[in-house]
Structure 1
Amino acid sequence: MRVLIVSDSHGDAGLVKSVVERERADHLIHCGDFCTGRDRLPSGPLTVVRGNCDWEEVPEEAWWDGGGHRFYVTHGHRRQVQSSLLPIRYRAEENGAGIVCFGHTHFPVCEQSERVLLINPGSLVAPRGFPSPSYAVLETGRGAEVTVTFHTPRGEVIPERGGTYRVRDR
């Protein structure tokens, strides 16, 4: 299964749409701060959460089961992601999730803690502390194995981010 993970697109629905069309993923996760009407988000299989800049009535956090894995999705601003990833990891563990997708910091992260994989795709439009905007693609493999790649909005691979990981499976 191929999962596209984006965050912090801050109103650029056209860019989100072009990335979705190019990547042809089985599922889209938007980690918040989409900053448009909900109707401007792509149609199709989608998990979306509200960020600190969103006004639409979407959940603050969500759980999604796909590709043999349980995902926990949150923007992260209410879980202090700027100072520590422990609160979101604990929240994931409480609910049996092996993969956490979050945003808010505008900085791409792919970090494993125990058997929980924490992914921040970065910002699609406004990176902070990283040289380019970014998004992530997660592909499930056999059993507990997943591969994560990071890309620029034009689709170019960012080789210094991502990798192959073994995470808690469903």
Structure 2
Amino acid sequence: MKCLLVSDSHGSETELSEVIERHRGEVDAVFHCGDSELSNDSSILEGVHTVQGNVDKPGEFPEDTAETVKGVRVYVTHGHLYNIKMTHIPLSYRAEETQARMACFGHSHHPTAFEDQGILFVNPGSVMQPRTRPEQTYAIASFDESGGAEIRFYERESAEEVTDLYASFPAGTQ
């Protein structure tokens, strides 16, 4: 299973569209972790699992979603309702409730990937407004048949991999 993860595009339609179209043919699903600042009928978000961010128009998208993609349960939320800038623990409880293998979030604009209690946590960063690094980033998560995963981060404009953010999670390490 392979999915594209984007977040915090903050109304940048052209840039978001470029990233999605660049990878749409090679992934099984596309997730936007909130703060798109687009309407739910935007053609850019067609076929994209999108959640509500703290600056999105209230009620435009669901607060969270849990989808199973090729056998991998993916939970997505923006993170502001789970205090994600301080700790991942409240989010971990919700991810566990949804039986997620991967929990995706945004809000902090900080690209990261880590595993805790068998759940992968991934923040793809921001495709437009990075905070802790200079790169405008997004991520691609890949799961193999044994359950192992790789998270690769890319710079938005060049599509070059940001190799120091790469994370690998072998199967059975939960």
- TM-score, normalised to structure 1, is 0.93
1:165 CA drift (Å): 1.3
Partner of 1:160: 164
Partner deviation per Cα, 1:27-59 (whole Å, 9 max, x = no partner):
110000001222325355321100000015210
Q: Structure 1 residues 129 and 41 mapped into 2: Cα distance closer, same or farther (>3 Å)? A: farther
Separation (CA, whole Å) in 1 of partners of 2:78 and 2:167: 22
Partner of 2:41: 39
RMSD: 1.6
Separation (CA, whole Å) in 2 of partners of 1:41 and 1:35: 13
Residues 30, 47 of structure 1: 8 Å contact kept: yes
Residues 7, 123 of structure 1: 8 Å contact kept: yes
Partner of 1:131: 134
Tell me if 1:96 matches 2:99.
yes
Separation (CA, whole Å) in 2 of partners of 1:16 and 1:57: 18
User: Percent identity between the aligned chains?
Assistant: 35
1:159 CA drift (Å): 0.4
The alignment of Structure 1 onto Structure 2 pairs a total of residues equal to 168
Tell me if 1:12 matches 2:12.
yes
Unaligned runs of 5+ in 2: none
Query: Relative to total residues, which structure has the larger strand share, 1 or 2?
Result: 1
Tell me if 1:145 matches 2:148.
yes
Tell me if 1:50 matches 2:56.
no
SS of match in other structure, 1:42: helix
Unaligned runs of 5+ in 1: none
Partner deviation per Cα, 1:127-163 (whole Å, 9 max, x = no partner):
0111211000011211311211000002110001132
Tell me if 1:81 matches 2:71.
no
Partner of 1:66: 69
- TM-score, normalised to structure 2, is 0.90
Letter of the 1:104 partner, please give it: H
